[in-house]
Amino acid sequence: MTCNTRIMATLSALVLLLAAMAAIVPGRTAAASSTPVEDWQALTERAKGQTVYWNAWGGDTVINAYIDWVAARVKEQFDVTVEHVKLTDTGSAVARVVAEKAAGRSAGGSIDLIWINGENFAAMKRNGLLYGPFAEMLPNFRYVDVAEKPSTILDFTVPTDGFESPWGMAHFIFMYDRDVLASPPKSAVRLLDWARTHPGRFTYPQPPDFVGTSFLKQALLELATDRDRLLRPVGDDFEATTAPLWAYLDELRPHLWRGGKNYPESSTRLRRMLDDREVDIAMAFNPATASNDIANGLLPKSTRTFIFDAGTLSNSHFVAIPFNASAREGAMVVANFLISPEAQLHKQDPAVWGDFTVLDVAALPVEERARFRHLKLGPATLTPEELTPSLPEPHPSWVGALEAEWQRRYGH
Amino acid sequence: MTAVQRRGGLLRFVPPFTLALFLGPLFAGLLWTLGPAFGYLPALGGERLSLAPWQALFAYPGLGNAVGLSLGTGLTATLLSVAIVTALFAHWHDSRLIARLRRLIAPLLSVPHAALAFGLAFLIAPSGWLFRLFWAPLAGPVPPDLTIVQDPLGLALIGGLVLKEVPFLFLIMLAASGQTATAGQVAQARGFGYGKARAWCAVAFPQLYPQLRLPVFAVLTYAMSTVDMAIILGPATPPPLAVLLVRWFNDPDLAFRFQASAGAILQLLLVAGTVLLWLGAERVIVRAARRRLMAGRRGGTGRFGAMLSAGTAITVFGTATAGLATMALWAGAGRWRYPDPLPSDWSLDAAVRHGPALGGHVATTAGIAIAAAGAALVLALASLEAGQRRTTANANGGRGLVLLYLPLLVPQVAFLFGIQILLVQAGADGTWPAVAWSHLLFVLPYVFLALGGAYRDLDPRYFRTGLALGRSPAALFWRLRLPLLLRPILVAGAIGIAVSVGEYLPTLFAGAGRVTTVTTEAVGLAAGGDRRLIGLYAVVQMILPGLAFLAALIIPAWCFRRRRGMRTAA
Amino acid sequence: MTGMPANTLELRGVSLRLGPRALFGPLDLTVAPGDVVTLMGPSGCGKSSLLALICGTLDPAFRASGEIALDGRPLRDLAPERRRVGILFQDDLLFPHLSVADNLAFGLDPAVRGRKARAAAIAAALDDAGLDGYGERDPATLSGGQRARVALMRTLLARPRALLLDEPFSRLDAGLRDRIRRFVFDHARAHALPTLLVTHDAEDARAAGGTVLELGAPQAD
């Protein structure tokens, strides 16, 4: 793809973004609440007996177990079978949809539902690889807290336009062993000071790993002179906007684990390194990760989490349906179930997964509201109040640009 | 000339059929990579040929390093593996050391590359087992900040590749030396006063090497284009080219696909160039060796060389086995944190929690492996038999069948995307026969490799005697060849099963994610970094082919328990 | 034995080439039933290849010309297994995966039908070879002489029309060699088989008692 088309794409995305921010949000919620119920019933009828191949990252046993639970419930309630296709990389599922489009298969595709957000979503949407809009048709969408949690309809600032349905909320957190580290450094600047006195004890996953890139964004949000600039697509001022980040990383690098010559390839690897005491700080894009790992014997019981004082990078994650899905109706039934109070409550249970809900708890029926209020957090999980302020994701075009520049500077 | 030549009937068509089944899709797959490499992929809006993908590729920062790393690690690992195996056989070809190492070979052959890589990484990493045993008691609970795994030169990656390829080349060398009656010639050369290793190198090695050449190229290709081992053991700043390619193929920015295709073609050219380089080096070495031979130097006792070669080989086999043992330990570990030398508590949690799902994956994996290995055996036997009947001299099944090795010699990333498109067009993707077929591409060459030798090795006079006794070739195939070759056939089948079980990328591409094998599951879970699960799956991955190897050992032994003459056969 | 057809092995102008090398010939030879003709000559002169040519298992790398007939019928167009030419090699080549009796049964003419009849034929052959009761033995447990006799019996049970011997005695020690030789030649004569013996051993030729043919060293054109 040439530069021009990229700029065109980003420009059109910008227009859509502004439109979405200005007017569409309330309008859409209104439309969602008036979903024709008869249609939905006909749809669930058609979905009966379908098998939904749900392509979702399979690297976390906690999440895999939750998906198994979803499969059992959906089978029971709607007679829809869910097969979890465990991915190592969501990109490989995107690649498969591309292959199917290349082969001219516009129906009967092999993927029915895909766990997605950010750059992958932007790319699939841009290339016409998604079915929709469908999200607002889902009856349970009316519970989604689009007002207080705008990331449920603005995925990395890109309007979802109903091409994906929200599933959970994520916050960028750091973790440490409080028996080892008494007071963790709670800002990018203090982290640098700490690293100077503790050489070799900190590192981050290598971009383009999702968490590694997120660390760059987290730091950039604190260091950038004009934070709002990041909400708009990358432009000619990339160098000027990101200069503070590179200056920071240049200073940090010699004090990193392995002298900054090597980086762990994923955040999970980084957590194993925290457990093995190769480093003193790890990070994840899920506030419940540390609690889950403690429960599973993967991290010491004294593990705790923290965020930077400037706020925590946060986003939503979604499910989307490829344009050629075989079991489209079944996929919508599953997507709808995922934002049901029942499924969201179970998901937020720290004993299950601990992933925060996308729903507006205050708007739920009394009984469900109470159950949400009674949920305890895991031992290492911060409360929603502590996880503030939340910083919105930059526009997805920053991802590629940051990764390319990182690669140019440190990747070879 | 005689009636013999007209024989064969339908069998005659098996070799060309086999080739068509293979090469057609392979070339079609390559075309689907070649197109995007020059900007053609209508599904993504690429409708005109251009050199832009190549410009993007060469503009990528660190490409030169990535290419250098692929070349360096691939060539070094291959050279080392060949050298270790050759030196071992030169010094120890007539000893019991070979027989002892042979016993260790089955688990090492059957374990997938990734599992071995995990084992090695855990063994040597600064927070790994060796440091827990020897460093932690002296230095306390914090592991040293040392670059051992993922070192910038790729030494750990080279080590991992050597661990996996030495057993494979060992097996090939063992099979080759069984076929060639070189023992007497070596003895004769020693009678002329040549040292043991020198006599073997001068007399036996030149005769064995032709049978080693293709396997060596397969090793070279694998070593230069490995993804799973490189991710675990190799450096990442930058990674070797193949890792970059997979990353680009999976990049959310679909425009990377063009650059990835160009990179895949580059990878193919690199491998082809290295193979040519290797062939050139062979000639130079032959010439130099001949000159030395003419000089008539006899060589010494070679005691130092003998110790060194045995030491290296034992280290390689021992390290690999120790790495696998740590994986087995992890499978049963509860909590096992640095600096504990052993798990602080034991738990079968992982096994219990994943048991039910595991059962289904094991069944799928076994079904696909048995289907692929079975089909490979049928095709290989039919092709070999067709070749055998056409001529008694060339039991290789005809020269054309060398092309069967192409799937091993072409980097997988270069054609799997195309194969995926073909399968999608045929509407066959995501079915287990499609997966079994994609495995067949890689299983058949190995089965052929394992079986061809035994076929050649079988005394042709058995067959002639049978004919003279009035039996038809078909009857002789069933009543003579199959039973006489039962053991090599089962061993070839077990190797086929091991190859099939270990396949990751082909399963992913042909299975459309709908067919889950133990290996796709293991790699998916490995992303989670839970060593207990990785260990559990590594053990399961070992057990499946291990059972096949065991069957290959037990069944013939039981069938022929009262036939002493069969004990030495093959 | 009565009812045995009077077989004669005839070679007319047979010559053999390997690439540019002429190995021997043209060779004319008639072997009458019960006669043993001995072929001698230096290594590489094509003696064994001639036997392979008669059997129909000659490597295609060789070029042969001339006519070979058995009992007046040319062999050229017959598949090896239809020629009914028995051959014994230096090694006994008993199939290691079969018992002694199974080896014999493998050879026994399929025209002998019925389990009883076949068992009787095998028992008779074992008896003839002085190996009564050895049927269930593993061939690997037999002595060299015993194995040689089983190999001959296996060949004879297939009811060949001619017998080819490719140095079959050279692996046996001196004392044994004489007895086996007699055993083989007696049986060949009793079955009225035209027999062609290839050997390096003048003693073999003398014991055979028939014509001795000396093949020359191969010549290049």
Domain ranges across chain B: 1-49+348-570, 51-347
Cβ of B467 within 8 Å of Cβ of C61? The answer is: no
Residue ranges with strand state E in A16-129: 51-57, 81-87, 113-116
Spell out which residues of chain A touch residue B50, defining contact as CB-CB under 8 Å: none
Query: Minimal Cα–Cα distance from B377 to chain C, Å?
Result: 21
Query: Minimal Cα–Cα distance from B403 to chain C, Å?
Result: 24
Please state the rounded mean pLDDT for residues A213-228: 94
Q: What is the pLDDT of residue B568?
A: 52
The residue range of the domain holding C44 is: 1-84+160-170+194-221
Nearest one of B319, B350, B318, B322 to B336, comparing CA atoms? B350
By DSSP bridging, strand C62-70 and strand C73-74 are antiparallel
ipTM of the complex: 0.78
Cβ of B254 within 8 Å of Cβ of A410? The answer is: no
Domain B1-49+348-570, classified CATH 3.40.47.10, yes or no? no
Q: What is the pLDDT of residue A380?
A: 93
Spell out which residues of chain C touch residue B1, defining contact as CB-CB under 8 Å: 58, 60, 63-64
Optimal mutation site among C62, C81, C94, C112, interface B, most CBs of chain B within 10 A: C81
Cβ of B461 within 8 Å of Cβ of C80? The answer is: no
CA neighbours closer than 13 Å in the CB half-sphere of residue A378: 28
Q: What is the pLDDT of residue A26?
A: 35
Spell out which residues of chain C touch residue B471, defining contact as CB-CB under 8 Å: 81, 106
Domain assignment of residue C67, yes or no: yes
CA neighbours closer than 13 Å in the CB half-sphere of residue B358: 18
Q: What is the pLDDT of residue C218?
A: 53
Name residue, tokens 């530069």: A3
Optimal mutation site among B394, B464, B465, interface C, most CBs of chain C within 10 A: B465
Question: Is A128 a residue whose pLDDT tops 70?
Answer: yes
**Surface of B (527-556) touching A: CB under 8 A:** 527-531, 533
Question: Is B393 a residue whose pLDDT tops 60?
Answer: no
CA neighbours closer than 13 Å in the CB half-sphere of residue A374: 7
Which subunits have 3 or more CB–CB pairs within 8 Å of chain A? B
CA angle C72, C78, C83 (to 5 degrees): 70
* Residue in C closest to B474 by C-alpha: C81
In whole angstroms, what is the distance from residue A118 CA to residue A151 CA? 10
CB A329 within 8 A of CB A50: yes
Residue B61 token pair: 């920062």
Peptide bond into A389 cis (omega under 30): yes
CB neighbours of residue A24 within 10 Å = 15
List the single residue in A104, A263, A271 with the smallest CB-CB distance to B529: A271
Write phi, then psi, for B234 (nearest 5 degrees): -85, 165
CB A184 within 8 A of CB A201: no
Spell out which residues of chain B touch residue A293, defining contact as CB-CB under 8 Å: none
Cβ of A58 within 8 Å of Cβ of B527? The answer is: yes
**Surface of B (317-336) touching A: CB under 8 A:** 334-335
Residue B243 token pair: 């890792």
Question: Is C194 a residue whose pLDDT tops 60?
Answer: yes
Cβ of C80 within 8 Å of Cβ of B467? The answer is: yes
Question: Is B67 a residue whose pLDDT tops 80?
Answer: yes
Domain assignment of residue C93, yes or no: no
For residue A150, count CB atoms less than 10 angstroms from its CB and return exposed for 0-12, middle for 13-18, buried for 19 or more.
middle
Q: What is the pLDDT of residue B527?
A: 65
Spell out which residues of chain C touch residue B562, defining contact as CB-CB under 8 Å: 99, 138
- Taking the Cβ of residue A180 and every Cβ of chain B, the question of whether any pair is shorter than 8 Å is answered with no
In whole angstroms, what is the distance from residue C195 CA to residue B85 CA? 50
Question: Is A10 a residue whose pLDDT tops 60?
Answer: no
Give percent of chain B above pLDDT 90.
26
Cβ of C139 within 8 Å of Cβ of B461? The answer is: no
Q: What is the pLDDT of residue A177?
A: 96
How many folded domains does chain C comprise?
1
Question: Is A336 a residue whose pLDDT tops 90?
Answer: yes
List the single residue in A92, A123, A262 with the smallest CB-CB distance to B150: A262
Tell me the range of A4-8, A201-205, B422-426 where mean pLDDT is highest: A201-205
Cβ of B471 within 8 Å of Cβ of C81? The answer is: yes
Nearest one of B408, B416, B68, B74 to B261, comparing CA atoms? B416
By DSSP bridging, strand A312-320 and strand A113-116 are antiparallel
A275 vs B246: which has the higher pLDDT? A275
Spell out which residues of chain B touch residue C160, defining contact as CB-CB under 8 Å: 468
Minimum mean pLDDT among A278-282, B85-89, B399-403, B551-555: which range? Answer: B399-403
What is the Cα B480 distance to its own chain's centre? 31
Residues in chain C: 221
Work out how many CB contacts closer than 8 A connect B with C.
116
Question: What's the order of all strands across the beta sheet hosting C195-198?
Answer: C85-88, C162-166, C195-198, C36-40, C212-214
Per the rule left: phi > 0, alpha: psi between -120 and 50, beta: everything else, A7 is alpha
Which one-letter amino acid corresponds to residue A324?
A: N
* Residue in A closest to B131 by C-alpha: A276
Residue B316 token pair: 């390689």
Write phi, then psi, for A158 (nearest 5 degrees): -85, 125
- Say which CATH number the domain at C26 has: 3.40.50.300
Residue ranges with strand state E in B330-437: 333-335, 345-346
* Residue in B closest to A263 by C-alpha: B236
Q: Count helices and strands (H / E) in chain A.
A: 15, 11
CB neighbours of residue A79 within 10 Å = 15
Query: Minimal Cα–Cα distance from B129 to chain A, Å?
Result: 11
CB neighbours of residue C206 within 10 Å = 10
Query: Minimal Cα–Cα distance from A223 to chain B, Å?
Result: 25
- Taking the Cβ of residue B521 and every Cβ of chain A, the question of whether any pair is shorter than 8 Å is answered with yes
Confidence of residue C97 (pLDDT cuts 50, 70, 90): confident
B223 vs B139: which has the higher pLDDT? B223
Q: All domains of chain A, ordered by start, with CATH?
A: 3-168+317-376 (3.40.190.10), 173-313+393-410 (3.40.190.10)
Q: What is the pLDDT of residue C6?
A: 63
List the single residue in B43, B238, B523 with the smallest CB-CB distance to A88: B523
Mean pLDDT of chain B: 84
* CA distances (Å), origin C93, targets B18, B183, B390, B393, C140: 33, 22, 23, 19, 11
Which one-letter amino acid corresponds to residue B296?
A: G
Q: What is the pLDDT of residue B570?
A: 37
Mean pLDDT of chain A: 87
Q: What is the DSSP letter of A130?
A: B
CB A368 within 8 A of CB A205: no
Please state the rounded mean pLDDT for residues B72-91: 95
Confidence of residue A13 (pLDDT cuts 50, 70, 90): very low
Query: Minimal Cα–Cα distance from A259 to chain B, Å?
Result: 9
List the single residue in B32, B41, B61 with the smallest CB-CB distance to A408: B61
pLDDT digits (tens, 9 = 90+) for A357-399: 999 999 999 999 999 988 888 889 998 889 988 898 999 999 9
Residues in chain B: 570
Optimal mutation site among C51, C57, C88, interface B, most CBs of chain B within 10 A: C57
B154 vs A12: which has the higher pLDDT? B154
Fold: same for B1-49+348-570 and B51-347: yes
CB B256 within 8 A of CB B248: yes
Question: Is B560 a residue whose pLDDT tops 90?
Answer: no
In whole angstroms, what is the distance from residue A27 CA to residue A86 CA? 37
In whole angstroms, what is the distance from residue A105 CA to residue A114 CA? 18
CB neighbours of residue A372 within 10 Å = 16
Q: What is the pLDDT of residue B552?
A: 87
For residue B234, count CB atoms less than 10 angstroms from its CB and return exposed for 0-12, middle for 13-18, buried for 19 or more.
buried
Confidence of residue B357 (pLDDT cuts 50, 70, 90): confident
- The residues, ordered by sequence, that sit 6+ positions from B337 with a Cβ below 8 Å of its Cβ are A275, A276, A277, A300, B344
Spell out which residues of chain B touch residue C147, defining contact as CB-CB under 8 Å: none
Q: What is the pLDDT of residue C83?
A: 85
Minimum mean pLDDT among A253-267, A333-347, B304-318, B523-537: which range? Answer: B523-537
Domain assignment of residue C99, yes or no: no
Minimum mean pLDDT among A133-142, B100-109, B200-209, C133-142: which range? Answer: B100-109
Which one-letter amino acid corresponds to residue C113?
A: R
In whole angstroms, what is the distance from residue B352 CA to residue B361 CA? 15
For residue A117, count CB atoms less than 10 angstroms from its CB and return exposed for 0-12, middle for 13-18, buried for 19 or more.
buried
- Taking the Cβ of residue A374 and every Cβ of chain B, the question of whether any pair is shorter than 8 Å is answered with no
- What pTM was computed for the model? 0.79
Name residue, tokens 């595709």: A109
* Residue in B closest to C154 by C-alpha: B469
Peptide bond into B107 cis (omega under 30): no
Cβ of B143 within 8 Å of Cβ of A90? The answer is: no
Q: What is the DSSP letter of A285?
A: S
Q: What is the pLDDT of residue C124?
A: 93
- Taking the Cβ of residue A111 and every Cβ of chain B, the question of whether any pair is shorter than 8 Å is answered with yes
- Which neighbouring-strand residues pair with A320? A114, A164
* CA distances (Å), origin B310, targets B102, B198, B205, B305, B379: 14, 16, 18, 8, 38
Q: What is the pLDDT of residue A8?
A: 38
Which subunits have 3 or more CB–CB pairs within 8 Å of chain C? B
Confidence of residue B458 (pLDDT cuts 50, 70, 90): confident
Task: Classify B267 as helix, strand or coil.
Answer: helix
Give percent of chain A above pLDDT 90.
67
Nearest one of C75, C80, C137 to C104, comparing CA atoms? C137
> CATH homologous superfamily for B51-347?
MetI-like (1.10.3720.10)
Confidence of residue A38 (pLDDT cuts 50, 70, 90): low
Write phi, then psi, for A154 (nearest 5 degrees): -125, 95
Nearest one of A365, A394, A398, A388 to A148, comparing CA atoms? A388
CB B206 within 8 A of CB B394: no
Element containing residue A213 per DSSP (H, E): helix A210-223
CB C55 within 8 A of CB B464: yes
Please state the rounded mean pLDDT for residues A293-307: 92
List the single residue in B237, B335, B421 with the smallest CB-CB distance to A261: B237
